[in-house]
Structure formats: structure tokens, C-alpha cells
Amino acid sequence: MDKCRLCGRETVLELSHILPKFIFKYAKSTSLTGHIRATENPNRVVQDGKKTPFLCKECETLFSGWESYFSQNIFHPYQNDEKDSFDYDYRLSKFLASVSFRVLLYSFENDKNDFFDSPILKHAPVAINNLKEYLLGNNPHPKEQRQSLVLLDKTSDEINDKNMYLTRAIDFDVMTTDDYSFVYIKYLKF
């Protein structure tokens, strides 16, 4: 038994995607080769995104509802050039916070000794807790953990590295400046 990263219950954990599965499924289905490649090693073909025992079944189900909302109402319509503006509700904020929570906590648990400097080591636990309390419904908003969704597209019809990055890359990182720390998440045209 392990502890769920969101609710803290001791239970059997689900094998959770750090970035939602629908992103990788779409990338694979629209790839010219039918494959996706790892960001860390672009020469290596991978089947799926990062997965790890992370959430209990109940919390995985909670996240799944927000993922379905985003996938059906924003992700697929934008990726398929069907819409370029959207009506949205609280579920968009919950979805974005859920992805930020997973990326930040996963990175903090797995990379803090290698990549996290002292400012982020100080701020990350506070940010993780703010996101957690928001996702669990204990706070009406994620406090100073703001979420932004940037819609991207290619800069021209030319096939080049910049356009490939803007429309096909999938990546995440945690970054710091002298004053701020932030989670950067890039998936396809988002």
C-alpha cells in the first residue's frame, strides 16, 4: 500500500499518467509514422507518456472527469482546426491545475536533487499544497498558483523545427527565475 499523492489515503495506487493519456493517443494517431518519441531521447520510440503509481482510484476518477471535459471541448476541437475560441467553466481551471499538480509533484519527487535550486525547493511544497487543496475542493481557487493556457499554431506552412515544436512537441519542466518558479507544460498545439 502506498499513499495517494492527492488525498493522502493509504491504498493501492493506479498507474497514473503524468500528462493525460489522450495527448499521447492523439499524437500517436496523427503521427506520420504511427509512433511517438521521448523528449529526453528523440531517437527512441515510446508507446506512451510517463506513468507511475501516483493516485488512488477515486482521485484518478476525479482527474478523469476534468480530462474528458478538456479533451472533448477544447483539445480535440482545437487540434482538429474546428474551433479557435471556447466557452469554458471551472473544469478548465481544475484540469490545468491537475496537470500542473502532477508535473510539479512528479518533478519534485524525482528530480529535486538534480535540478531544483534553493528557491524552488522552498516554494514547491507550498505550490503543491495550494494545488492539492484546490483540487480537493478545500479552496475555491489555487491561490497564487495561476494557470494559463496558451493556444499555439504553426508560423507558416513550411515544415521546420519551429513549426514541429509548436504543433507536435510534448514536454514539461519546472523552471525558476530570481523571483518566480513555474511549471511549463507543452503538448502539441497547447
Q: pLDDT tens digits for 90-104?
A: 999 999 999 999 999
pLDDT in tens, 7-61: 999 999 999 999 999 998 998 888 878 777 766 777 777 777 889 999 999 999 9
For 175, list phi and psi in degrees, rounded to 5. -125, 155
Measured N-to-C along each axis, helices 90-115 and 118-135 cross at an angle, to the nearest 10 degrees, of 150
- DSSP letters spanning 81-122: TS-S-----HHHHHHHHHHHHHHHHHHHHHHHHHH--HHHHH
* Ramachandran region, residue 31 (left: φ > 0; alpha: ψ -120 to 50; beta: rest): beta
pLDDT of 132 above 80: yes
How far is Cα 14 from Cα 162, in angstroms, rounded to an integer? 36
